[in-house]
């Protein structure tokens, strides 16, 4: 069962799902496919190099100081390991620090300094102390190698917290990297660190077991990045759409409250039905100078002064015209007219006496006076006409804007009279103009102006408030462009959930089949058969786990299993995963709890199978597992830990490489051959020579590993070159 899902597989499944569920024109399809294309071939969530894109990280060295009771105040407990496929056994009595060593590796490689310490059972009574009593901090370092890459992870743990750093050396480049969630999820999916005591303490309910088994269904860093990106973008779009929906509702309510008191309803606002339109275009349509066709004019501030000035102009002009007219109608006018008639007939007359009556009189002065009056009459006539025209123009503007509200018919009557007779004095227009002047002087006009100005001010305030509401909506719209894709991202997220359901169901079926085969391999004689693992609830909501078992012909529950059978079920999860994960190692602590000799041998067989392409580090106090593993693994190496009873210091008491073990067996063989009671059939020298040759080949192999690992070389490639030489002489 693949431990990760690639971008290529995600893209293929996404397109298949989209072809079945969404037309090609649906925007959700394009968004999801485009996102997968963008993320395709990218790295995981580290700050640069791809830590998870290739398989094969293996452990080259471990150093622990002060973690979980491994005190070592003077020097850390340091163990060098061969970063190649195979089995290494770390053996020691109970209390020698094996579980602390496994917990330190698991905690550090998880990359989460604040996470619970692996290997610690729930509850305060038996909770493991990660930082030893009396120690200010604990320090752990693990060096991983992959081809020519070296990743050194260092962690410091204090009672109040800790920190983990990682440094990657890849060829000629070196730098700090971050072990993010994708790294941790891949570590869980690979089941790279197993501790029976930890699992037995944590798995108390079906939901606990579900959570453990679901860890094996992690889809990998590619899926994590796609899911995270889709969730983030969908959440941003939905949040933006929600903010705009709330802003739209506020704007609707505010405009309705502003418009409810208007005499005449303005044109309705064309509210957006979705957020895919252009906010600038919507704003241009609704934020013009007079969006509502306001029926209330804004009266000028000098309305009263203008009206008073026009009224005074009409009155003064009319009065002066009346005075001039009265002067021209006096008796002197008749005399002057008489003189003028006579003068027409007698052009040359003496100026000293009147040519008509013969009297001595200054008739020329009389003539000049009347003629001046006639000139004034013409002037005042024109002044009246101008005053009437000005009043007419003002009334025309007033009637054109405020006719529905004018309380007097005089302005409209003046307009009609001027249309008939013009603005000449002593006409109907002149008489109606006096009515206009009287209205302008009346309290009724003053009250109307006050009322209109109040209405105009309210209109200005209403218009300003309405524009402000619409402008705020347009600004909010422009600030949330992600809202346009809200529906599309919701569709993409739902489609991704369907793809996840399909992927998880497929992997769950594969996991069930492999777990069944692993349980059968560990419990072939117990009649325990795993029928099905079925999750209740979807990916987002979980309601427990159904593990259907059968013992013989009867259905069984987890509670009917013995302690050894439970352990076998948990160990089966280690045996059902392929070794194609980024982590090419397995750290397994205390795997033989409650297992009999047959189960120990079967476990050794399965671990040997895993060791064909994986580095397996087994920590145990049970010598049976070491013996069964050695019988199946000629390259087995054993590291023995011991704790000094006086200083509580954990150290490596002995280390048996496979060739050293063969030499010990050869010595025992030769020593036994010297005894009288010992008998052997065949040449003893040939047997001893073969053992020594195997030991020498093993020493050469370990030397190559040490040299390549120390020099950041490609260990696997070097061993492949070594294996091309058949004889020991050529290998040397």
631 Cβ partners below 8 Å, 6+ apart? Answer: 604
Looking at residue 561, its pLDDT comes to 81
**What are the residues facing 545 on neighbouring strands?**
535
Q: Model confidence at 14, in pLDDT bands (50, 70, 90)?
A: low
Burial 3-12 (b: 16+ CB within 10 A, else e): bbbbbebbbe
Looking at residue 293, its pLDDT comes to 45
The distance of Cα 304 from the centroid of its chain, to the nearest Å, equals 63
Q: Which two tokens stand for residue 341?
A: 């008639």
Q: At 296, which helix (H) or strand (E)? A: none
Q: In 3-state terms, what secondary structure has residue 691?
A: helix
pLDDT single digits (tens) 193-214: 887 777 777 777 766 776 676 6
Q: Which two tokens stand for residue 606?
A: 């399965």
Lowest mean pLDDT among 2-16, 496-510, 670-684: 670-684
pLDDT single digits (tens) 88-110: 999 998 888 888 898 889 888 88
Q: In 3-state terms, what secondary structure has residue 593?
A: coil
Looking at residue 55, its pLDDT comes to 65
Report how far apart, in Å, the C-alpha atoms of 333 and of each of 351, 354, 370 are.
Answer: 19, 15, 6
The distance of Cα 422 from the centroid of its chain, to the nearest Å, equals 77
Looking at residue 574, its pLDDT comes to 77
Q: What angle do CA 28, 34, 40 make, to 5 degrees?
A: 135
Looking at residue 168, its pLDDT comes to 92
- Across the range 379-405, mean pLDDT stands at 80
- Give the Cα separation of 139 and 158 in Å (integer): 9
The distance of Cα 67 from the centroid of its chain, to the nearest Å, equals 37
Q: At residue 119, does pLDDT exceed 50?
A: no
Q: What angle do CA 1, 83, 660 make, to 5 degrees?
A: 125
Nearest to 661 by CA among 627, 637, 639, 685: 637
Q: At residue 580, does pLDDT exceed 60?
A: no
- Across the range 254-283, mean pLDDT stands at 76
Counting residues of the chain whose pLDDT is more than 70, the rounded percentage is: 69
Looking at residue 676, its pLDDT comes to 62
Q: Which two tokens stand for residue 692?
A: 């020594």
Q: Model confidence at 46, in pLDDT bands (50, 70, 90)?
A: very low
Q: At residue 186, does pLDDT exceed 90?
A: no
Instruction: Compute φ and ψ for 599, nearest 5 degrees.
Output: -65, -35
Q: In 3-state terms, what secondary structure has residue 705?
A: helix
Which is higher by pLDDT, 84 or 198? 84
**What are the residues facing 138 on neighbouring strands?**
157
Looking at residue 116, its pLDDT comes to 52
Looking at residue 22, its pLDDT comes to 54
Looking at residue 441, its pLDDT comes to 84
If you search the block for the tokens 């200005």, which residue do you land on?
460
pLDDT single digits (tens) 302-330: 777 877 887 888 888 777 777 766 655 44
**What are the residues facing 195 on neighbouring strands?**
589
- Model pTM score: 0.58
Q: Cα torsion for 555, 559, 561, 567, to the nearest 10°?
A: 130
pLDDT single digits (tens) 630-655: 888 877 889 999 988 777 788 888 88
Candidate ranges 111-115, 422-426, 501-505; pick with highest mean pLDDT? 422-426
698 Cβ partners below 8 Å, 6+ apart? Answer: 634, 635, 657, 658, 659, 662
Which is higher by pLDDT, 297 or 637? 637
Q: At residue 365, does pLDDT exceed 80?
A: no
Lowest mean pLDDT among 197-201, 486-490, 685-689: 685-689
Instruction: Compute φ and ψ for 587, nearest 5 degrees.
Output: -105, 115
pLDDT single digits (tens) 147-160: 888 999 999 988 77
Q: Which two tokens stand for residue 163?
A: 């920190």
- Give the Cα separation of 721 and 401 in Å (integer): 102
Q: Model confidence at 617, in pLDDT bands (50, 70, 90)?
A: very high
Q: Model confidence at 122, in pLDDT bands (50, 70, 90)?
A: very low
Residue 451 CB-half CA count within 13 A: 10
Average pLDDT, the chain: 75
Which is higher by pLDDT, 236 or 227? 236
Q: Model confidence at 47, in pLDDT bands (50, 70, 90)?
A: very low
Rounded to a whole number of angstroms, the CA Rg of the chain reads 53
Q: At residue 44, does pLDDT exceed 50?
A: no
Counting residues of the chain whose pLDDT is more than 90, the rounded percentage is: 6
Looking at residue 187, its pLDDT comes to 79
Furthest-apart CA atoms within the chain: distance in Å: 201
- Across the range 276-287, mean pLDDT stands at 80
- Across the range 450-458, mean pLDDT stands at 72
pLDDT single digits (tens) 325-362: 665 544 555 556 556 655 645 556 555 666 556 665 56
């Amino acid at each position: 069962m693949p431990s990760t899902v690639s971008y290529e597989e995600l893209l293929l499944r996404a397109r298949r799902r989209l072809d079945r569920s969404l037309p090609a024109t649906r925007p959700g399809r394009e968004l999801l496919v485009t996102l997968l294309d963008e993320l395709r071939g990218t790295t995981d969530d580290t700050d640069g190099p791809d830590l998870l894109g290739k398989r094969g990280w293996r452990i080259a060295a471990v150093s622990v100081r002060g973690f979980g009771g491994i005190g070592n105040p003077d020097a850390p407990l340091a163990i060098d390991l061969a970063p190649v496929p195979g089995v290494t056994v770390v053996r020691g009595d109970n209390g020698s620090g094996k579980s602390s060593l496994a917990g330190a590796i698991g905690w550090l490689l998880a990359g989460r300094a604040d996470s619970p310490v692996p290997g610690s059972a729930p509850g305060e009574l038996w909770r493991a102390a990660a930082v030893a009593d009396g120690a200010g901090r604990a320090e752990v370092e693990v060096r991983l190698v992959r081809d020519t890459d070296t990743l050194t992870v260092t962690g410091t743990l204090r009672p109040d917290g800790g920190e983990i750093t990682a440094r990657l050396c890849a060829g000629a480049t070196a730098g700090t990297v971050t072990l993010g969630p994708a790294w941790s999820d891949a570590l869980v999916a690979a089941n790279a660190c197993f501790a029976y005591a930890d699992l037995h303490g944590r798995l108390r309910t079906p939901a606990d077991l579900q959570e453990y088994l679901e860890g094996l269904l992690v889809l990998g860093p590619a899926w994590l990045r796609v899911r995270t990106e889709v969730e983030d973008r969908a959440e941003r779009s939905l949040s933006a759409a929600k903010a705009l929906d709330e802003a739209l509702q506020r704007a609707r309510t505010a405009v309705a409250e502003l418009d409810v008191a208007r005499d005449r309803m303005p044109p309705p606002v064309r509210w957006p039905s979705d957020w895919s339109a252009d906010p600038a275009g919507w704003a241009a349509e609704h934020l013009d100078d007079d969006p509502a066709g306001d029926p209330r004019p804004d009266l000028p501030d000098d309305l009263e002064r203008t009206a008073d000035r026009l009224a005074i102009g009409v009155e003064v002009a009319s009065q002066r015209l009346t005075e001039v007219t009265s002067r021209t109608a006096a008796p002197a006018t008749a005399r002057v007219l008489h003189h003028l008639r006579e003068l027409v007939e007698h052009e040359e007359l003496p100026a000293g006496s009147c040519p008509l009556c013969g009297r001595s009189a200054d008739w020329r002065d009389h003539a000049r006076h009347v003629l001046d009056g006639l000139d004034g009459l013409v002037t005042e006539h024109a002044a009246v006409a101008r005053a009437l025209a000005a009043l007419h123009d003002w009334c025309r503007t007033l009637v054109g804007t405020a006719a529905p509200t004018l309380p007097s018919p005089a302005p409209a009557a003046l307009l009609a009279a001027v249309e008939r007779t013009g603005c000449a004095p002593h006409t109907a227009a002149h008489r109606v103009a006096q009515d206009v002047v009287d209205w302008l002087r009346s309290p009724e006009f003053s009250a109307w102006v006050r009322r209109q100005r109040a209405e105009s001010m309210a209109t200005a305030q209403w218009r300003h408030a309405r524009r402000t509401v619409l402008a705020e909506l347009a600004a909010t719209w422009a600030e949330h462009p992600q809202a346009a894709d809200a529906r599309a991202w919701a569709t993409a997220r739902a489609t991704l959930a369907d793809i996840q359901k399909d992927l998880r169901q497929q992997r769950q079926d594969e996991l069930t089949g492999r777990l069944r085969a692993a349980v059968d391999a560990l419990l072939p004689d117990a009649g325990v058969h795993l029928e099905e693992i079925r999750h209740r609830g979807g990916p987002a909501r979980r309601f427990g786990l159904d593990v259907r078992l059968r013992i013989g012909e009867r259905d069984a529950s987890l509670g009917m299993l013995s302690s050894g059978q439970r352990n076998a079920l948990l160990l089966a999860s280690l045996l059902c995963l392929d070794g194609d994960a980024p982590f090419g190692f397995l750290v397994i602590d205390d795997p033989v709890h409650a297992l009999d000799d047959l189960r120990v041998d079967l476990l050794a067989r399965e671990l040997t199978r895993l060791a064909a392409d994986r580095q397996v580090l087994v920590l145990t106090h049970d010598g049976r597992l070491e013996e069964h593993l050695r019988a199946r693994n000629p390259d087995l190496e054993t590291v023995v830990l011991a704790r000094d009873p006086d200083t509580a210091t954990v150290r490596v008491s002995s280390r048996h490489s496979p060739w050293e073990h063969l030499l010990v067996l050869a010595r025992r063989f030769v020593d036994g051959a010297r005894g009288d009671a010992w008998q052997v059939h065949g040449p003893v020298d040939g047997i001893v020579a073969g053992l020594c040759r195997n030991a020498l080949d093993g020493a050469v192999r370990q030397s190559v590993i040490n040299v390549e690992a120390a020099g950041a070389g490609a260990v696997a490639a070097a061993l492949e070159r070594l294996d091309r030489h058949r004889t020991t002489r050529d290998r040397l």
